[in-house]
């Protein structure tokens, strides 16, 4: 029935009609899956967010993850919740969504504002969708995140080894992936007049950075850090060692200072504040020493790290200049921000050239004003408090998770801003917050030493209601 309608719509409306028909078909499929196999939507969302974040339906510019995410939200609304959880962290996230909606309404300028807010809102609110699942299903979702992050990282490592993303992306060209090689320029002397952001000094060298399926190395660093933190608490034995080792290598190959610092500082926090046996402490020191020596033996990594604070590191001075210019750029829009859908949020080269501040809390203020920015800071602070409790817990893997979360919040969020303006990365940060809540519940229930044993839900599952939970309907 839809075939003739689609043909007529295409003939009369062109590309907008194609997008509308594709959206309608995707919605019908999502509704069907949501009714019959709701858990498939959850897995599909996390897999496409982490493994194929920029995948689109063939022929139309419609993100696959967004359709699956909408379907997951629909399933969440239709089915009774297995677990009803409440916590200060969840309350803070809810307030953040409400305050961001308020800022969008006040600064509304075009219908695209609603679309951009909806994408961000679905990504951030996905925390409530996941936390409605029982712990065994939630762990399964988390493992899917780790596997997908590892897949993306390994694909990126293969691209670095080959010197191009051409062969890695080729099998996925049907969903919009194409070769996009990115290189990092370092070293050398600024003998050229600094007339632009892309001047290259004499003697500079270029190194390809791991971007994986995220394409951008800094975004890959964020995803891989979150993946390694989740791997620590969701896996045991050889699986944990293997996955964390692979993810560690991939993090190094991103050459992302924010990602590397988040892991190293996170481990340092665990080393200082976690109560561990002397044997474990010695093993940690040996592992860090070997890992650091191996990383510094790679020329690209060595020059990236040693040049970070040198006179040729334009990034450091540019960040300081951007922060100084921030009040002037914000002008009289402190309360509700300058609005959503601004060019600097969509045009990367423009934001880079104009040197907009690359700081997640400040970008949240720039977009949504103090009402949204302070709410975001509250989420970070509450998350760090929970993470500190995990660091002091009896479980080393959970302490590692807490240490990495705290370091990520202090370092990565102040050095980069994708978790605020890019929906796919907002999803990744939501996964981080979701499993922070999960780990804290395990700590309270005393179930930290055995990831295979489910922590007791905060309330009894609603077993008497129909239809049954996603677990019973998934095939």
According to DSSP, residue 206 is labeled E
Burial of 181 (0-12, 13-18, 19+ CB in 10 A): middle
- What's the CA gap between 219 and 348, in Å, rounded? 13
Q: What angle do CA 54, 47, 72 make, to 5 degrees?
A: 100
Identify which of 139, 12, 82, 93 has the alpha carbon closest to the alpha carbon of residue 450: 139
**Within-domain flag for 175:** yes
71 with 92, same domain?
no
Total of domains in the chain: 2
**Within-domain flag for 128:** yes
pLDDT at residue 453, rounded to an integer: 41
pLDDT at residue 188, rounded to an integer: 41
- What's the CA gap between 68 and 60, in Å, rounded? 16
Q: What is the pLDDT along the chain (475 residues), one digit of tens a residue?
A: 445 555 555 555 555 666 667 667 766 776 676 677 788 899 999 999 999 998 888 877 789 999 899 889 988 888 777 777 889 999 999 999 999 999 999 999 889 999 999 999 999 999 999 999 999 999 999 999 999 999 999 999 998 888 888 888 888 888 888 765 555 544 444 444 444 443 444 455 566 788 889 888 889 999 999 999 999 999 999 999 999 999 999 999 998 888 999 999 999 999 889 888 788 788 888 887 887 788 777 777 777 776 655 555 555 666 777 778 888 888 888 899 888 988 878 776 777 776 677 889 999 999 999 999 999 999 999 999 999 999 999 899 999 999 999 999 999 998 888 899 899 999 999 999 999 999 999 988 876 654 444 444 444 443 333 344 444 333 3
Yes or no: say if 441 and 85 are a contact pair by the CB < 8 Å rule.
yes
Q: Which of 35, 56, 84 is the last residue of a domain?
A: 84
Residue-number span of the structural domain to which 133 is assigned:
86-458
Radius of gyration of the chain (CA): 23
Going by C-beta distance under 8 Å and a sequence separation of 6 or more, which residues neighbour residue 241?
none
Helices 423-445 and 217-234: crossing angle in degrees, nearest 10, is 20
pLDDT at residue 69, rounded to an integer: 92
Q: Which of 84, 109, 144 is the last residue of a domain?
A: 84
pLDDT at residue 444, rounded to an integer: 86
Q: Which of 53, 69, 84 is the last residue of a domain?
A: 84
Neighbours of 288 (CB within 10 A): 14
pLDDT at residue 257, rounded to an integer: 86
**Alpha-carbon torsion (99, 351, 109, 328), positive or negative:** positive
**Within-domain flag for 331:** yes
76 with 93, same domain?
no
SS3 label, residue 56 = strand
According to DSSP, residue 338 is labeled S
**Alpha-carbon torsion (444, 445, 446, 450), positive or negative:** negative
């Amino acid at each position: 029935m839809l075939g003739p309608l689609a043909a007529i719509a295409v003939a009369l409306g062109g590309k907008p009609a194609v997008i509308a028909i594709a959206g309608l078909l995707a919605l019908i499929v999502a509704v069907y899956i949501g009714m019959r196999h709701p858990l498939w939507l959850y897995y599909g969302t996390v897999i496409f967010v982490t493994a194929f974040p920029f995948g689109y339906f063939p022929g139309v510019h419609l993100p696959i993850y967004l359709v699956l995410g909408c379907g997951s939200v629909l399933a969440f609304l239709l089915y009774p919740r297995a677990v009803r959880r409440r916590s200060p962290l969840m309350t803070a996230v809810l307030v953040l969504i409400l305050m961001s909606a308020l800022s969008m309404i006040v600064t509304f300028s075009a219908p695209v504002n609603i679309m951009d807010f909806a994408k961000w809102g679905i990504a951030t609110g996905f925390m409530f969708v996941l936390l409605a699942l029982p712990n065994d299903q939630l762990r399964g979702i988390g493992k899917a995140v780790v596997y997908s992050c590892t897949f993306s990282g390994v694909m990126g490592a293969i691209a670095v080894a080959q010197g191009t993303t051409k062969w890695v992306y080729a099998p996925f060209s049907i969903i919009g992936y194409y070769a996009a090689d990115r290189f990092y320029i370092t070293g050398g002397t600024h003998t050229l007049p600094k007339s632009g952001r892309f001047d290259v000094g004499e003697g500079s060298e270029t190194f390809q950075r791991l971007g994986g399926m995220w394409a951008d190395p800094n975004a890959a660093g964020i995803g891989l850090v979150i993946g390694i933190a989740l791997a620590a608490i969701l896996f045991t034995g050889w699986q944990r060692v293997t996955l964390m080792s692979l993810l560690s290598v991939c993090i190094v190959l991103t050459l992302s200072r924010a990602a590397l610092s988040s892991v190293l500082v996170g481990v340092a926090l665990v080393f200082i504040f976690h109560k561990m046996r002397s044997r474990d402490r010695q093993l940690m020191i040996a592992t860090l020493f070997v890992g650091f020596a191996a990383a510094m033996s790679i020329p690209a990594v060595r020059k990236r790290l040693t040049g970070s604070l040198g006179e040729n590191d334009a990034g450091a001075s540019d960040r300081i200049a951007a922060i100084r210019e921030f009040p002037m750029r914000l002008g009289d829009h402190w309360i509700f921000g300058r609005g959503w859908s601004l060019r600097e949020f969509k045009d990367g080269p423009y934001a880079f050239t104009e040197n907009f501040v690359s700081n997640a809390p400040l970008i949240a203020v720039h977009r949504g004003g103090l009402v949204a920015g302070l709410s975001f800071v509250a989420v970070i602070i509450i998350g760090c408090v929970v993470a500190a409790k995990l660091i002091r817990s009896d479980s080393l893997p959970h302490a590692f998770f807490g240490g990495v979360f705290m370091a990520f919040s202090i370092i990565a969020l102040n050095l980069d801003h994708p978790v605020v303006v890019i929906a796919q990365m907002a999803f990744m940060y939501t996964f981080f917050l979701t499993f922070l809540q999960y780990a804290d519940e395990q700590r309270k229930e005393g179930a930290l030493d055995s990831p295979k044993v489910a922590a007791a839900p905060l309330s009894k599952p609603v077993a008497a209601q129909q239809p049954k939970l996603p677990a019973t309907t998934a095939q």
